[in-house]
Amino acid sequence: MSELTTTDAAELGRLLTAGEVSAVDVTQAYLDRIEAEDGAIGAYLHVDAEAALRSAEQVDAARADGGALGPLAGIPLALKDVVVTEGVPTTSGSKILEGWRPPYDATLAARLKTAGTVLLGKTNMDEFAMGSSTENSAYQVTRNPWDHDRIPGGSSGGSSAAVAGALAPWAIGTDTGGSIRQPAAVTGLVGHKPTYGSVSRYGLIAFSSSLDQAGPMARTVLDAALLHEAIAGHDPLDSTSIAAPVPVLAESARRGAEGDLAGLRVGVVTELGGDGHTDGYEAGVLARFTETVALLESLGAEVRPVSCPAFDLALPAYYLIAPSEASSNLARFDGVRYGLRVGDDGNRDLDEVMALTREQGFGPEVKRRIILGTYALSSGYYDAYYGQAQKVRTLITRDFTTAFDGDDGHGVDVLVSPTSPTVAWPVGARVDDPIAMYAADLCTLPASLAGVPAISVPCGLSDGLPVGFQVMAPALADDRCYKVAAALEAAQDAARGSRFLDQLPVRSAA
Amino acid sequence: MSTTDRLVDFDEVLTRYEPVMGLETHVELGTASKMFCGCSTTFGAEPNTQTCPTCLGLPGSLPVANAAAIESTIRIGLALGCRIATWARFSRKNYFYPDIPKGFQTTQYDEPLCTAGHLDVEVDGETYRVEIERVHLEEDTGKNLHVGGSTGRIHGADHSLIDYNRAGIPLVEIVTRPIPGAGAKAPEVAKAYVTELREILVALGVSEVRMEQGNLRCDVNTSLAPIGSLEWGTRTETKNVNSLRSVERAVRFEMRRQAALLDEGVAIRQETRHFHEDTGSTSPGRSKEEATDYRYFPEPDLVPVAPDEEWVASLLAALPELPAARRTRLSDEWGISPTEMAWLVNAGAVELVSETVAAGASPADARKWWLGDLARRANDTGTELGELAVTPKQVAELIGLISAGTINDQLARQALDGVLAGEGDPAAVVEARGLAVMGESDELVGAVDAAIEGNPDVADKVRGGKVQAIGALVGAVMKTTRGKADAATVKRMLEERLVGS
């Protein structure tokens, strides 16, 4: 394995800027590795080596001409296939979009292009981002680089496997209920779900509009912060985009890495794996979590338990709101304008062709959620389901506000929990049990419903598999997530004497 | 088409039934760009050339609300005396049809921009108050073209084409509350309402309101209940009634058709019906629609609209003079009675007369031409007055030619023929067709002298004091000049020669 493919993105940026390596060298190293390894991992749905090398050459040429290039120029990148890319196949993991080549770029794709990053390819995902194992992809199973018999998490499992498996230095994922954080946790990555509205959704194929957020998945906290900064910021094409300046994230990560958390007030959410709420949580996960909370204390943080009672209702609320929005967002896939069309043989009428197209184009989990959402929005049921779920959402948001502001003005700065109740499970173990699959998002759903930022950072191994630690912060305080995560990462790396991913069996073997 | 519908005579309907109407009017706003994207709204472009990822509903695309459209909607609401919401939201109306690219229409549901207004309309000197339920903003659909059938409808077609140029054009929907109590005047009240509404939209400058281009489309709800009944009858909804005259005809037809059914004891079906311009009848539309559950919910891709109260107040203060006030003022200025003004309104001629006056004609002359000759021509061809191929400026020019004595009324009508035939402005037509009244030209002097010489008996009678005999000589001159001479001039010239002074 080329050393370039285990080098952090920040370091790659330094090497590229210093002219010590070329963008073509780095890109070729990754393409070689994808060629050799992705057959076993299955992280990518689409790789265009020629196009990647062409962009790398352009960056090198621009650098040779003395052009002013940004710090990310020449660093390769993978995009979750939910991100619309001009001229590059985009499927959202669904057969219904097979072969679609979009005529436009998502805002974040355009920003990354402008920053000079090199697109390696589009990564596998659960169909329309619905799932926690990437097994709902209509195309292929993706393997966890830590153990090929296990899932890489989901729905951004192609991105997590690519980054953990050294098939990309970093990647973009999207998170609706945990789809960045949970795959990051189970593959040993840093994954951040930004404040809702802080990264443009223009060009993300919508699953649940009020929840979807794109964010970085990376090997280090600093890398995640750098990638996040490149995609953040107001976008006039997204009405829900917040008109606030791009937060200073990389600097927060650097400061956090200095390891001083003195005075930081940390709330441990009781409802997420705390006393009386440990059902479904693996002992190894809880053990790593407890150790990490202690580590925070040792770095100077003041830790106390915080109860957020409405969090218990996050799962049912989420599984009404997200499917409701999805049932509407996915209505456009009717076979009329793009993608799959089934049964248009001149004998069937419009309704039959639409129905056949959707029947064959959507997988079972997508159909399950469309049906659920359609039901929840039906007249006569709306108030009881969608309406009630929105009220729960308000209560969850209020729990966050109370925790952060405090009853007496002395709230906590961040809330922490495990990222997911379990480590990566064996491929196939939960495919017939949707409820067990949904439970993987238990800890990530509250931040999604409240629109607040949350990061997952590795906090050790359980049975040789990565465990994630989640840090949640108030809206627009993404910098706190990075600071705390960076402090933990630095302390753990120091104690271990190596980076977290260096423990990957395949790397130790290499 | 339902040519087999039995119809009750209109006057007879009123002896047994009381009509209740409701109107839903869709107005395409004249904004430069579409409701949720930056695409142009220009009418008549090549199909699917004014589209983008958003109005095509491509995966990943998102809407951004058009501020100018929101402002126009609020101004319409203010002109109709509505309450303007301080908090309004867009909602998704979910249903599958190829002309809605997203699988839902973005519209407003339970939180519209404007509610609770009214519009007073006048019919035959009586004022009817039409209550406005709501004014809300939504997006138009694309346009389906069904190819291969005989009717242009989907039934029988072998394939369909869709033009998304219209998809996403801002559409304001103005919904009335049920309008009871109009009785025999119901059809005219319906027409007067749409006419007045159109006048308001023109005054506000928010839409071109060209009904033939579909800028303004009406859905007309009609029901009948036995006179004295406490409950209203079941209504039908006649869709896409696209001219003022058709609004009146649609109500009239539905009243007559429903009365016949009710007379036979047949219940009216709540259904959507199509209006047929050629026969003035309606026929049932797709009956499937009543089963649709639109699953409305707040549009998560758009933030709520919270119109600032001060801004709304400034919009109210800046409203132009509204048609009703304008009519009162013009009645005074033109010295006409409210009844005479009502004729102008019914003829759709207020604006035309006003513009003609502005172009230099006297109010009396302008009214005379628009209500007289021009109204007759519009009626003969079955078009609206404003759609005649003559501008107020041209009418003023015509009137000017008459006042100057260049032409008389009879020649003016011929000149008008030329203008309507596209031969140019009145003066040019008069010139080209040689319509000018003869002054005391050599030709006319010759004709007068010839008439005296050719009718010595008559001339003598006039000389002898039988002045009324001069008419025969005038007639002779008019004949030889083929009507181009001005009769008064001829008479004067004859008198100068025969009577002296």
CB nearest B303 (choices: A206, A240, A333): A240
Contact A377 B295 (CB under 8 A): yes
Contact A336 B62 (CB under 8 A): no
> By the CB < 8 Å criterion, does B303 face chain A?
yes
Instruction: Identify the pLDDT of residue A509.
Output: 43
Which residue of the set A22, A133, A137, A155 is catalytic?
A155
Q: Where are the domains of chain B?
A: 10-312, 321-433, 442-498
Residues 6+ apart with CB under 8 A from A470: A181, A185, A416, A417, A418, A419, A443, A444, A447, A454, A455, A456
**A-chain residue closest to B94, CA distance:** A328
The Cα of B154 is separated from the nearest Cα of chain A by a number of Å equal to 10
Is the pLDDT assigned to residue A506 strictly greater than 70?
no
Contact A338 B293 (CB under 8 A): no
Q: Is A456 a catalytic residue?
A: no
Phi, psi of B13 (to 5 degrees): -55, -45
Instruction: Identify the pLDDT of residue B327.
Output: 86
Mean pLDDT, rounded, for A333-346: 92
Tens-place pLDDT, residues A5-50: 999 999 999 999 999 999 999 999 999 999 999 999 999 999 999 9
Contact B60 A102 (CB under 8 A): yes
* B158, amino acid identity: D
Instruction: Give me A287's structure tokens.
Output: 């053990």
How many CB atoms neighbour CB A408 within 10 A? 6
HEC profile for B314-333?
HHHHCCCCCHHHHHHHHHHH
Instruction: Identify the pLDDT of residue A261.
Output: 95
Q: Is A179 a catalytic residue?
A: yes
Residues 6+ apart with CB under 8 A from A290: none
The Cα of A236 is separated from the nearest Cα of chain B by a number of Å equal to 8
By the 10 Å C-beta count (0-12 exposed, 13-18 middle, 19+ buried), A332 is classed as buried
Which residues does chain A have within 8 Å of residue B158's beta carbon, measured at their own beta carbons?
346
Q: Of A92, A176, A238, A239, which to mutate for an interface test with B (greatest number of B Cβ within 10 Å)?
A: A239
**A-chain residue closest to B37, CA distance:** A237
Tens-place pLDDT, residues A204-245: 999 999 999 999 999 999 999 999 999 999 999 999 999 988
Mean pLDDT, rounded, for A345-363: 92
Instruction: Identify the pLDDT of residue B291.
Output: 63
Phi, psi of A121 (to 5 degrees): 170, -175
The Cα B44–Cα B161 span in angstroms is: 16
Q: Sorting pLDDT into bands at 50, 70 and 90, what band is A473? A: very high
The Cα A282–Cα A16 span in angstroms is: 43
Instruction: Identify the pLDDT of residue A1.
Output: 60
Q: What is the largest CA-CA distance in chain B?
A: 99
Contact A331 B300 (CB under 8 A): no
Cβ within 8 Å of B, A 210-229: 210
The Cα of B140 is separated from the nearest Cα of chain A by a number of Å equal to 16
**B-chain residue closest to A358, CA distance:** B96
Nearest to B246, CA basis, from B270, B272, B212: B212
CA B169 to chain centre: 21
Classified as helix, coil or strand, A303 is strand
Residues 6+ apart with CB under 8 A from B91: B106, B107, B108, B109, B110, B111, B296, B297, B298, B299
Phi, psi of B62 (to 5 degrees): -135, 155
Query: Are B402 and B408 contacting, i.e. CB atoms less than 8 angstroms apart?
Result: yes
The Cα B29–Cα B269 span in angstroms is: 33
The Cα of A343 is separated from the nearest Cα of chain B by a number of Å equal to 14
Map tokens 């890489």 to a residue.
Answer: A152
Is the pLDDT assigned to residue A451 strictly greater than 90?
yes
HEC profile for A456-481?
EEEEEEECCEEEEEEEECCCCCHHHH
Which residues does chain B have within 8 Å of residue A97's beta carbon, measured at their own beta carbons?
59
Instruction: Output the pTM of the full model.
Output: 0.86
Tens-place pLDDT, residues A409-448: 679 999 999 999 999 999 999 888 888 888 899 999 999 9
Tens-place pLDDT, residues A99-120: 999 999 999 999 999 999 999 9
DSSP one-letter string for A91-146: -TT-GGGTT---SS--HHHHHHHHTT-EEEEEE--SGGG--SSSTT-SS----BTT
| For chain B, percent of residues with pLDDT exceeding 90 | 46
The Cα B75–Cα B69 span in angstroms is: 10
> By the CB < 8 Å criterion, does A272 face chain B?
no
CB nearest A374 (choices: B62, B102, B295): B295
The Cα of A243 is separated from the nearest Cα of chain B by a number of Å equal to 13
Cβ within 8 Å of A, B 277-296: 293, 295-296
Nearest to B50, CA basis, from B42, B58, B60: B42
Is the pLDDT assigned to residue A381 strictly greater than 80?
yes
Which residue of the set A156, A159, A179, A420 is catalytic?
A179
The edge-to-edge listing of strands for the beta sheet with A302-306 is A44-47, A118-123, A76-80, A170-175, A213-218, A190-193, A454-462, A465-472, A414-418, A265-269, A302-306
Cα→Cα distances A326→A138, A322, B138, B432, B439, Å: 17, 6, 21, 69, 82
Cis peptide bond prior to B501, omega within 30° of 0: no
Which residues does chain B have within 8 Å of residue A351's beta carbon, measured at their own beta carbons?
96
CA B122 to chain centre: 16
Residues 6+ apart with CB under 8 A from A429: none
CB nearest B62 (choices: A238, A346, A374): A238
The Cα of A239 is separated from the nearest Cα of chain B by a number of Å equal to 6
Contact A209 B300 (CB under 8 A): yes
Contact A354 B64 (CB under 8 A): no
Cβ within 8 Å of A, B 65-94: 65, 92, 94
The Cα of A336 is separated from the nearest Cα of chain B by a number of Å equal to 6
> By the CB < 8 Å criterion, does A239 face chain B?
yes
CB nearest A354 (choices: B63, B96, B293): B96
Instruction: Give me A266's structure tokens.
Output: 């940390």
The Cα of A380 is separated from the nearest Cα of chain B by a number of Å equal to 10
Instruction: Identify the pLDDT of residue B152.
Output: 61
Nearest to A358, CA basis, from A330, A379, A325: A330
Is the pLDDT assigned to residue A510 strictly greater than 60?
no
Q: Is A22 a catalytic residue?
A: no
Q: Going by DSSP bridges, is the β-strand pair B281-284/B272-276 parallel, antiparallel, or unpaired?
A: antiparallel
> By the CB < 8 Å criterion, does A457 face chain B?
no
Instruction: Identify the pLDDT of residue A130.
Output: 97
Residues in chain A: 510
Contact B102 A203 (CB under 8 A): no
Is the pLDDT assigned to residue A88 strictly greater than 90?
yes
CA B236 to chain centre: 24
Which residue of the set A55, A80, A324, A420 is catalytic?
A80
Structural domains of chain A, ranges and CATH numbers in brackets: 3-266+414-509 (3.90.1300.10), 313-386 (no CATH)
Interface contacts A/B by beta carbons within 8 Å: 103
The Cα A352–Cα A331 span in angstroms is: 15
Cβ within 8 Å of B, A 322-361: 324-325, 327-328, 330-334, 336-338, 346, 350-351, 354
Residues 6+ apart with CB under 8 A from B362: B399
ipTM passes above 0.90: yes
Low-confidence ranges of chain B (pLDDT < 50): 1-3
Which residues does chain B have within 8 Å of residue A92's beta carbon, measured at their own beta carbons?
59
CB nearest B57 (choices: A102, A332, A382): A332
> By the CB < 8 Å criterion, does A58 face chain B?
no
Tell which CATH classification among 1.10.10, 1.10.390, 3.40.720, 3.40.50 matches the domain B442-498: 1.10.10
Q: Going by DSSP bridges, is the β-strand pair B159-163/B143-147 parallel, antiparallel, or unpaired?
A: antiparallel
Instruction: Identify the pLDDT of residue B288.
Output: 53
